[in-house]
Chain A
Amino acid sequence: MTPTLAGRIQTRLVMLGTVGVVWTILIGFVAPRPEGTAMVDIYKALFTALLIVAVLGIVWEMIYHALQQYRWEKDWPTIFGLVVAIPEGIVAWVLLQRGIPWDVRPVAASTYLTMFISLWILVWAITNGPLQIFFVRWRYRGGRFAGGW
């Protein structure tokens, strides 16, 4: 991909706001649920995680954008889109464990990882191709949906 900063942020928010929300609802049914945890608490935790990935993601995208400047092609190789899941996943987990932005503890690692890893791969796979079926100009605009050519 060859994202611009605006394209990165728009793509992240659009994908998490659509695919992310639907997937989180679905995964809540099947994610490991520690005994005694209410379903509503699982969803509170998962949606908080989703929110962290979306909002903190804006900062992450700025960092990626800065790193991208050191690439001659100003591209972002496909594999980078997977690798960055590791630091992002860790930071989001740490925030959840510290009750930021609000307390949803206890959150089981297995619950979180099931949601985070499956959603990441899903979003990554869709943005690396199938998204263009619906938005045929998206790739020319560096990942922007809005703002014209």
Chain B
Amino acid sequence: MRSEQGDISDELIATSVWSDQHLSRHGIPVYDVPFVSVGGGIGSFSMVDTLRIAGITTEQIRVVSDLQRPTQTYEYLASNSQIRSKHRLRSDSSSVIDCIWGWPGYALREAWAKKQPAHAMQVLVEPIGADYYTPQAGQVYASVNREAARISWNNMVTPGVVRHVRRRDRGDYFVLFTPPKGTTPTKRVAFRSRYIHMAVGYPGVRFLPDLQAYRQANNDYQRVVNAYEPHDHVYAEMRQRPATVVVRGAGIVASRVLQRLLEDRELHGAQTTVIHLFRTYATEAQGDKATFRRPVRKGWAYQGFNFPKSAWGGQMRDHLESLEGDARRDFIDAIGGTNTAPRKKWREQLDRGEAGGYYIQARGVVQSVVPSPDSRKVRTVVGTSAGLQNTQYDADFIIDATGLEANIEEHRVINDLLAHVGAGKNVKGRLDVERDFQVRGVDSGDGRMYASGSMTLGGYYAGVDSFLGLQYAAMRIHDNLASHGFGERIGPGRSTKQWWKWARNKAI
């Protein structure tokens, strides 16, 4: 079967390696550009920022993206999970996504901008004398926009949705994408490129299977919600009338959702009762020895960030680089897993809620989620581990705060890489990459493919899904590219010169 000119055909999709003739026969225009980043979010941004600083010009880079700005998806997810621009992220002061050097950090910059030395003091005494300083979301977004303008981000963005990245028979790759309707003469367009960077983020929100089953069976998308989807109606309604809500999850998103719920009660007169359901209730410090012990309190496992700090650039990074197979997976699980930030304000608020009887902790494995007999509430049936009778909780709302989906097969382009290009999966089932973030098994002549972000968790670096992790990946990828002659390695001289330009916001 042959499709119309300018479009792909089933035959082409079924052909793993493409030639120039394949595309010309299909009437798909091909443009040459050495480096293409697929995604257009913060992962692409940090990669491109690093390359521009390494002297790569805007003509040599294209970012295929359906986003208006790099932080768009991040802002959407953060905002849904109740982190608005004035709220603080869970990110270190020196994880400065708009500044590859990491200095001055967010704390110093906030102190300077607001003339509030307290922020600088906090970073000086953290985490001993104060909680970790973390930046306001709005500060991060504004600074990314500023840096994006400085590096002419918009000149490199090609609007579109990538469908396939395929090997070319004579080396390099094709990136085939669908531009917005009506903007190009053909339905599909392709880039022919030597270097590909995949930074596609999460394919979607993860739903707990029992909640998903309930939603589908009862067509109820209002009362059972995910923290990463828009759900402000839940808070609005709970301010109007007394209600009970079940919150599931014990990570950073659960912490923030609980803060919102309890603040509504403490400051805005809501009469909400919160049932916080733990599947795993941490009762004693985690870890197997005195030198490997994560603090725990009332069910929560606490650490400053989603991994211990040294996983980004210290002992744990070095250790993880040396591990293979199951040992690597087990170590990542031991230092990651479900945990939240030990913020004093949160702990005190939960203690007040517990004392007041409106924050109730529950534990156990959910057996089923069904409508209550009078259909007015949603019933969660929880099995207790001790073989005791099941407990049930009737609630007006359930908020699933257990996380984001990262099943890589659900992403069309990544799935295509697995099926047709030779990419494989790592010990955690995600995209298998080298220590320098080269995707394994996909080299194409001189062509190389790289990946960064959540898709690569399970590799030799833990904090891949973080600002600093994206910058780390970008630096490793840059070093590899520079060794192939693409860009000038950022040594002390270039680094210093470029920082000075950055500091003055001088366009490059």
Contacts and interface: CB of A to CB of B under 8 A. Distances in A.
A132 B94 CA distance: 11
B313 A2 contact: yes
A129 B104 contact: yes
Contacts of A129: 94, 102-105, 108
* Max chain B C-beta neighbours (<10 A), residue from A1, A7, A137, A140: A140
Given A135-B492, A149-B476, A74 B124 contact: no
Contacts, number: 96
Contact of B313 (A69, A77, A140): A140
10 contacts: A1-B314, A2-B312, A2-B315, A3-B314, A4-B314, A74-B315, A79-B124, A129-B103, A129-B108, A149-B436
Interface in B478-497: 479, 490, 492, 495-496
A142 B499 contact: no
B435 interface: yes
A130 interface: yes
A70 B290 contact: yes
B428 interface: no
Contact of A73 (B290, B310, B435, B492): B310
A34 B499 CA distance: 44
Contacts of A149: 435-436, 476, 479
Given A73-B304, A132-B102, A140 B475 contact: yes
Q: At the interface, is chain A mostly helix, strand, loop or mixed? A: loop
Contacts of B316: 74
A139 B293 contact: no
B128 interface: yes
Interface in B279-331: 287, 290-295, 303-304, 308-310, 312-318
Interface string B86-113: 0000000010000011111100100000
Given A74-B315, A78-B123, A149-B436, 5 more contacts: A70-B290, A75-B314, A129-B103, A139-B94, A149-B435
Contacts of A133: 101, 103, 495-496, 499
B314 A136 contact: no
B101 A73 contact: no
Interface residues of A, number: 28
Contact of B126 (A69, A72, A78): A78
A139 B472 CA distance: 10
A38 B457 CA distance: 63
A1 B127 CA distance: 12
Interface in A99-149: 129-130, 132-137, 139-142, 149
B318 A136 contact: no
B129 interface: yes
Contact of B308 (A73, A140, A141): A73
Interface string A54-96: 0000000000000011101111011100000000000000000
Nearest to A75: B309
B125 interface: yes
Contact of A141 (B124, B313, B492, B499): B313
Given A139-B313, A140-B475, A149-B476, A73 B303 contact: yes
A139 B128 contact: no
B490 A136 contact: yes
B101 A4 contact: no
What are the 10 tightest A-B residue pairs by CB atom distance, in nearest-first order?
A: A2-B314, A74-B310, A129-B103, A140-B313, A2-B310, A73-B308, A69-B291, A75-B309, A142-B314, A74-B315
Interface in B97-150: 100-105, 108, 123-129
Contacts of A77: 125-128
Nearest to B291: A69
A137 B128 contact: no
A123 B476 CA distance: 28
Interface of A: 1-4, 7, 68-70, 72-75, 77-79, 129-130, 132-137, 139-142, 149
Contacts of A75: 308-310, 314
Nearest to A134: B492
A132 B101 CA distance: 6
Given A73-B303, A129-B94, A149-B476, A136 B310 contact: no
Nearest to A138: B313
B361 to A, nearest CB: 23
A79 B123 CA distance: 9
A137 B126 contact: no
Contacts of B309: 2, 73-75
Contact of A142 (B100, B126, B287, B317): B317
A75 B84 CA distance: 30
Contacts of A79: 124-125, 128-129
Contacts of B499: 133
B313 A142 contact: yes
A78 B122 CA distance: 10
Contacts of A3: 314
Given A69-B291, A72-B292, A136 B308 contact: no
A78 B126 CA distance: 7
Contact of A139 (B102, B124, B291): B102
Given A79-B129, A137-B475, A149-B435, A130 B312 contact: no
A133 B105 CA distance: 12
Interface in B429-482: 435-436, 472, 475-476, 479
B310 A70 contact: no
Nearest to A79: B125
A133 B475 CA distance: 14
Contacts of A68: 315
Contacts of B476: 149
A134 B491 CA distance: 8
* Max chain A C-beta neighbours (<10 A), residue from B101, B128, B129, B496: B101
B308 A132 contact: no
A75 B308 CA distance: 8
B492 A72 contact: no
Contacts of A142: 310, 313-315, 317-318
